[in-house]
Amino acid sequence: RAAEWQLEQPAWSGRLRVTARGSVAFIKLEDKTTGELFAQAPVEQFPGIAVESVTDSSRYFVIRVEDGNGRRAFIGVGFVDRGDAFDFNVALQDHFKWVKQQSELARQAKNPEQGPKLDLGFKEGQTIKLNIANMKKKEGAAGTTRPRPVAPGSLSLLPPPPGGKLPSGERPSSLSNPTQLPGTPITDSLLSWPQPTAAPSATTGDVWGDFAKASG
């Protein structure tokens, strides 16, 4: 607990820096004026015994310092600003996250077959959908599309059926030579076939043939 420390009268004050050499991070306590090293704590694992947070504050930590001769001591350090304490914690987390990524890359380089394989094949029953409704096909420099060819024997416009009623206010136009569709008799009273004249003489020949004998 940081409340049990003599926070009003710290034994030492200065600056703290976090450095790294390989996979090991170093917490260095230095003089804020001259930069002389006061103590340092090597950190090989985080979270771990080298750095621990106190239970009653987010600005204070316990670190294990070493002098290089095998002697170790646990001391309490704290930050005046809460933001500095946050940056200290994040710096250690980022370093060991990088260490973990490097170890995974090295392991995959030694055993590439153990890495996850990318399967791009279709599963059973799996389908894909392509939306081509908005695609436009340009032909020629003007970008106009070709007209669709008309199949042989088909009609682009059908005439109105015989016997249909005309809209009110419109007068029918007289047709001198009405056209009859195959198999469709013309029954409209407005249209009539010209009646044949009297049968020609035998000298000129029967021009009308059986048509003159037809009734109606």
| pLDDT for position 45 | 86
Does residue 74 register a pLDDT over 80? Answer: yes
Q: What is the mean pLDDT of residues 28-50?
A: 90
| pLDDT for position 63 | 93
For the chain, state the CA radius of gyration: 51
- Maximum C-alpha span of the chain: 150
- Residue, of 142 and 104, whose pLDDT is higher: 104
Q: What is the mean pLDDT of residues 30-36?
A: 90
Q: pLDDT-based confidence at 121, cuts 50/70/90? A: confident
Q: What is the mean pLDDT of residues 183-194?
A: 51
Q: Give the phi and the psi of residue 19 in degrees, each rounded to 5.
A: -120, 175
| pLDDT for position 197 | 57
- Residue, of 202 and 17, whose pLDDT is higher: 17
- For tokens 């008799």, what's the residue? 185
Kindly state the percentage of the chain with pLDDT values over 70.
58
Q: Give the phi and the psi of residue 211 in degrees, each rounded to 5.
A: -65, -35
| pLDDT for position 171 | 56
| pLDDT for position 154 | 53
| pLDDT for position 141 | 47
- pLDDT, one tens digit per residue, over 98-110 is 989 888 888 888 8
| pLDDT for position 8 | 81
Q: What is the mean pLDDT of residues 79-103?
A: 91
- Residue, of 86 and 186, whose pLDDT is higher: 86
Which positions ≥6 away from 46 have C-beta within 8 Å?
25, 92, 93, 95, 96
CB of 86 closer than 8 Å to CB of 93: no
Domains recognised in the chain with CATH numbers: 2-110 (2.30.29)
